[in-house]
Structures are given as C-alpha cells and as structure tokens.
A and B are shown apart, each in its own frame.
Chain A
Amino acid sequence: MNRVLLRFTLSHWQSTRSLTTAASSSINAEEVSKFAAASAEWWNPHGQFGMLHKMNPPRTKYIRDQVLKHLNPTLFPPSATPAHPFKGLRILDVGCGGGLLSESLARLGATVTGLDASPENTAMATYHVSLDPSLSPPPTFLAEPIEHHLQNTQQKYDVVTSLEVIEHVNNPATFLKHCLQSVKPGGVAVFSTINRTRTSWLLTILAAEHVLKWVPVGTHDHAKYITPEELEGFVKGSGENVQVVDVRGIAYRVLENRWEVLGSEADKKALGNSLGFGDLEMNYIVTVTKGME
C-alpha cells in the first residue's frame, strides 16, 4: 500500500468559522470580514471550501467514535440507534461557519446548536439547513461568541465541538476554558487545529496561500498555530475537571484525494512505526472528557 503521505493543512477552509472566539476581547474584527466574504461559496462542493467538505466526513466519524467510547454511559439517551447514535444528545458546535459539521452531527441524531460570531455565517447556515427536510430538528444557529452564550443560557451540553477554530482566536486559553465550561459532567469535547511546525508553514502559508493560491493571502497567521503541548496546557489550565484522552493527526492522502484521521499513538505502538502514522506535524484532533462529579 502506498504510504506516501503528503499533508496539507486545511484550517483556512474552515476559517469562516473562526469567529466564534471566546471573550469579546478575543474576537478579531479583521478576521470576521475576511471570512464573511467567502460565506456564499461555503456550500459549493467544487468551490474553495471543497477540501473542507472532504475533510468533514472523517472528522465526523472520529467524533462519533470518540463520543461512543468516552461519553459517560449515564448521559446516553435510550433513543440512540445504530443509524442515529446521537439521538437525544445535545451538542454545541463552536465556530460553526456555514454549518458543515453541525449538519452532520444533526444527521447522526443530535440536537445541535451552532455558534458563530459572524451573522453572515449563521444566516448562511440557517438557510442551508432549510434545504434538507430530513434535518429534524434542524440545528439552531446563533451569532454570538461562546462567552455570551455561556452567560445568556444556563445550558450545558453533552458534547462540545470546535474544529479548526482555535488558531483563529485571539486568546486560545480563554476560548478553550469557555468551551470546556459548556460541557456537562461526564461529557466530551473535541477540538482540532493546526500544529505550529515548519511543515505547516510551508504547506499552509507558502503553498496554499502564495504558490497554489487556494485561499487568499493572509488567511492564516502562522504565529497563531498551536502545538499539541500548548493545547493540552490550555486544557489543564482551564480549571475544569477535564482530561485529554485522545490525540490524532489528520492527513490528506494526495493520491487518493481524501482525508484521513490517523491511528492513535496506541495504535502506532501496536502496529509498528510506519511513515506518517499518528503524525501530528500538521492538522490534529483532540478529545477531552469531563469528570462526573
């Protein structure tokens, strides 16, 4: 089997969702306008978000598997079925962008609330769910940052997701804290982002923005990329009773033109070391659980 893994990072395609930042202070006005302009393009499978559309299924499948594995059994509603494993679960998708992940989670049965700081994005997402009659109940989209949402509602969620968002917020530590505060005891949170490495600079800034011109120049700010160690540090420093339970790399297999969530470090040990396996050089995804008490 071909083991050549070339990776691209894709956080920029995701970036429309960037604006869901934590404290109002963390909202970056420049970023908002940058991505709102692209929102009409969001759902075009052949448009500039096409790569993100492709990345979504393996990520959703990862979330599905991790939630089924780590969510405290007492939170599992009896209504879940193999076809709708999330039926009865309440999920908060922070930085929902055009609603790509929110829709997928809703199709798995969840009752989803999508947050995005850009009203254009939430309008776009709300419009798009109306196109699919089977999304019932459809996700609710709110144009507010996480910290406002926390204040405005007493709601806590079984699952909180925030994919390819942290690298766009001004204060990732505060942002993560607010996300984790929104998780019920026994619940699960999933975050993904891009590692700050030389590879990610080459591929996301140099290649994707300047050479291939897949995304506008300035989409990314490499200095804001976060290493897995930093992310784990933010989680530990959140003051919540939480723990990182899984970290995986996400790779783009060029020849097969598809994304894949790689094996875990544990799998890597079990299977022996093959090139790129479990590699966190570029995009990676993390599962966090919250204790019961």
Chain B
Amino acid sequence: MGALARTDICIVGGGIVGTALAAALSTSAFASHLKVTLIEGGDLFALPDERTNYFSNRVSSVTPESAKLLKRIGAWDRIPEDRKKPFAQMKVWDALGNGKLAFNAPQTHAASCMGWIVENSWLRKSLTESLGSSVSVLNKSFVEDISSGEGSGLEWPILTLKDKSKIQARLLIGADGANSLVRKYANIKSSGWDYPQKAIVATLKVENVEGNNNDVAYQRFLPGGPIACLPLSANRSSLVWSTHPATAAKLSKLSTKDFASFVDIAFRNPVEDLKYLTGLIQEDGSLPSTVNLEEEAAWGRQRLVEANMNQIGAPPAHTTMPKISGVIETSRAGFPLRFYLSERYVSDKRAALIGDAAHTIHPLAGQGLNLGLLDVGTIAKVIEEGLQSGSDIGNIHTLQNYASERFAPNLGMMLAVDSIGKLFRAESDPIVWARSFGLNMGIPFQDSRTWP
C-alpha cells in the first residue's frame, strides 16, 4: 500500500454541485482552513465555447435562490452577462386541454426575473475559478473503490483512485451523480424508476420573439411529455423535449431542418398533427417525398387558431410563440430521465450525499440542479456550525442536521414534479378536464421557487 494522503473533506464528483460545495467551503471564514479534495473523473477544466451567440446544448434554469448562493461563493459575477439570460415570464399550457398559465416575475423581486438560463459549462467554469487555495483538485481521476478505514488505525473512509493512490478523509461527500459510488459505500438504498421517456436537447434558432428580447420560457405538455423552449439570447433558445423513447429515436434521425419543423409543430399545432407526422418518419429519418412539412404545419395551425372555440391546445392569451427557424448542427443529444431517491442522505460511515447522488428528478420543472445547490448551501452551513461548536464534522450527529433540513423539502419537490409529469401523461378526458381546471385556477405563484 502506498502512502496514504489525508484530507478533511473529500468530495467525489466535480459536477456543478460538488464543485460548488468545494468553492463554498474554501471561501468560508470558518471552513477555509480545512483541506478539501475534489475528485473528478472527467475534465473539470474543460473550457466553454466562447463564440458569441453560440450556446452549448446543456443548460440549466437557475432560480434566484441558487443565484444568490453562487454570488456568495463568488461564481455568479464571473459568468459574463451574455451567458446568463434572465427570463421574466413563463408560459405553460396543455396540448390536449385548455389549461394554461402565465407566470410573471414577482414585481417585488429586486432582479425582477424568475430565473436565468445558463450553460452548464459556464456554471462549471465560474465555480472552478472560485475555488480557494484550500482545495486540491484531482482532475481526470476516477474513484474506483471506497472502503471503511477499519484496521488502518483511523476509522475514516479510504478511497482508492484508478492510479491506485489512496486518500483517507474525515468526511466523504458523494456528489457523484445518479450512479453514486459513495452511496454504495455508505450502504444507502436508492429506489425509483426510469421514466418511459427520453429528453432530447438542442440549441434552437428563434424568430419573432416576445417580450424584452426573448425573455419568456415556454413549456407545452404533449401527451408524450413536456417540451420546453428556454431563452438563451435574442435569437437563440434551448430545447428540452421529453418524449417516448421510440419517438425520440425517430426525431433524432431527422435532418436538422426537418427536426426544426417538428419542434415548431410540437409547440404550435394540434396534437394530432404531431402524431400523424411523426408516424411518417422513415427508418432512415427521411420523410416521404409527398409530404410538405411547411404546408402541413400551416394548415394545422390555421385549424388551431380559427376553428378552436375552446382554445384546446393553444398557448395562454397574448402569447406569440416564437417561430423555431432552425436548429444548430450537432446540438441534438438525448438523455434518459429518471426518478431516484436515496432513502437517507447521511450515514455513520462518515458520508453524506448531495445533488443527483441523493435525488434525481425529471427536468420538467428545471429543479434538479437547483435542489442540488440548496443541498450545498445547507451542508456548507451545517459544516460551519459544526466547526464553531468544535464538532467532528464527519460525525453522524453533525451530518444529521443536513439530512433533517433537506430530506423532506427535496422529497416534496420530487413528488410534486413527478405527479405533474404523471398528470400530464394521462390522455383520458376527466383527467384532461381536471388539469385544465387546475391550470386555469391560476394558483397564485409567489415566487419562481414554488413552480411547478
């Protein structure tokens, strides 16, 4: 066995959540003396593409509360203004019923915005730049094994990296995503399911945008899952389209141009048009030469507007859905969607789980990362308080304070998001009426955080 390096806190996983925690600890007056080791299997320092008006396909909506945390850490101001697009409105509607909702940013909110859409790559870059000197980064290092320190004279967990070097840590943080190794080591069960859906993401070109230079987020609930269009700049938006895996496979094969038309149809046309046209997609992704997508789409839209007394499937009043005029080449990608919940967040093996390692949810409400950042804020606070009372911060009694603050709220959000997803997958009439009614009740939303 080689020399055993020792550290106070070892964070496995340099995703946005793990990196945010490392940055938070290293900038805290009470915790910056702790040795923090951040281990990332991928490349933590991969640079974002900085070309103007070019956007990565992986983006997150960031709530004002998350932004506040990022600001405190020092990361938020490192993200250039043109890389964090504020949105002031969110318009949501049902493709099958006549339920619709428009949320506005609360007037009282200082930033007067509901949130920002930011590329994950920029979040990561700004966070790595905020890491203080107490953090040692082990980049492109994969943790292969974790064992309890029993028998080593010190009962702290021991991590073995791919290059066989070993690290022993007082406190082990699992920020290693949905398939967390730390969770396995801590013997924490995780249960849930894979949604019968896949998410397709892409960067869209948009025209005829609404509001102040495209500051509206749109989401339409289709029978196969929600489709969302999130603003990135005056003429770019980001797509997250959750749909049946079979449909996703077909859509992925379409040419970029046809795919853009399908996205446009998915937002603007009656559901039947989308079903019919999707059925026409051939094995190789082409469409029969007899089909003129433009004409089909125009005809369907006409129907939706003119012959639709009940406004079935139409967006909220005073909405001009921007025209999806194109899709950036190679920006299309697919992601599996899951609901997984760890039965505990902490264990007496000196381990705690944060972010997707603790909870994985459907992206329909854009909350996954935001929940992870709330975890970061809480566990950093719990560690600081532990230090101020002279506690052993790896001790279960310290960690328990984190779990008891975050478990219930996270679970509440997870269940809310899941039931919205389920509700909107239902196509039977009574449920469609019920959800239309629910949406139209105009439940007063105080704050973007209460969305969904």
Contacts and interface: CB of A to CB of B under 8 A. Distances in A.
A131 B321 CA distance: 63
Nearest to B392: A132
A83 B389 contact: no
B286 interface: no
A103 interface: yes
B150 to A, nearest CB: 12
B340 to A, nearest CB: 27
B33 A83 contact: yes
A104 B390 contact: yes
A57 B398 CA distance: 9
B30 A83 contact: yes
B154 A84 contact: no
A105 B387 contact: no
Contact of A61 (B6, B389, B395): B389
B31 interface: yes
Contacts of A61: 385, 388-389
B258 interface: no
B391 interface: yes
B155 A107 contact: no
Nearest to B398: A57
A45 B396 contact: yes
A133 B387 contact: no
Nearest to A81: B33
B207 interface: no
Contact of B155 (A56, A60, A131): A131
Q: Chain B: interface residue count, which band?
A: 20 to 34
A131 B30 CA distance: 23
Interface in B367-408: 385-392, 395-398, 401, 404
B348 interface: yes
Interface in B3-57: 6, 8, 29-33
B141 to A, nearest CB: 23
B338 to A, nearest CB: 32
A64 interface: yes
Contacts of A82: 29-30
Contacts of A256: 404
A82 B31 CA distance: 9
A96 interface: no
A104 B6 CA distance: 21
A133 B154 contact: yes
A60 B154 contact: no
Given A45-B397, A54-B397, A84 B33 contact: yes
A46 B387 contact: no
Given A54-B397, A133-B154, A104 B389 contact: yes
A105 B390 CA distance: 6
A108 interface: yes
A53 B397 CA distance: 7
Nearest to A82: B29
Nearest to A258: B401
A46 B6 contact: no
A58 interface: yes
Contact of A45 (B31, B155, B348): B348
Contacts of A57: 385-386, 389-391, 397-398
A254 to B, nearest CB: 14
A257 B403 CA distance: 13
A74 interface: no
Contacts of B401: 258
B413 to A, nearest CB: 21
Interface in A52-103: 53-54, 56-58, 60-61, 64, 81-84, 103
Which of B30, B386, B390, B391 has most chain A Cβ within 10 Å? Answer: B390
Contacts of A131: 154-155
Contacts of A45: 348, 395-397
A107 B348 contact: no
Contacts of A257: 404
Nearest to B387: A83
B32 A83 contact: yes
B390 A107 contact: yes
A106 interface: yes
A134 B387 CA distance: 13
Contact of A60 (B8, B389, B395): B389
Interface of A: 45-46, 50, 53-54, 56-58, 60-61, 64, 81-84, 103-108, 131-134, 256-258
10 contacts: A46-B348, A57-B397, A60-B389, A64-B388, A83-B29, A84-B33, A104-B389, A105-B390, A107-B392, A132-B392
Given A60-B390, A61-B388, A104-B390, 18 more contacts: A45-B397, A46-B348, A57-B386, A57-B391, A57-B398, A60-B389, A61-B385, A61-B389, A81-B33, A83-B29, A83-B31, A84-B33, A103-B390, A106-B390, A107-B390, A133-B6, A133-B154, A257-B404
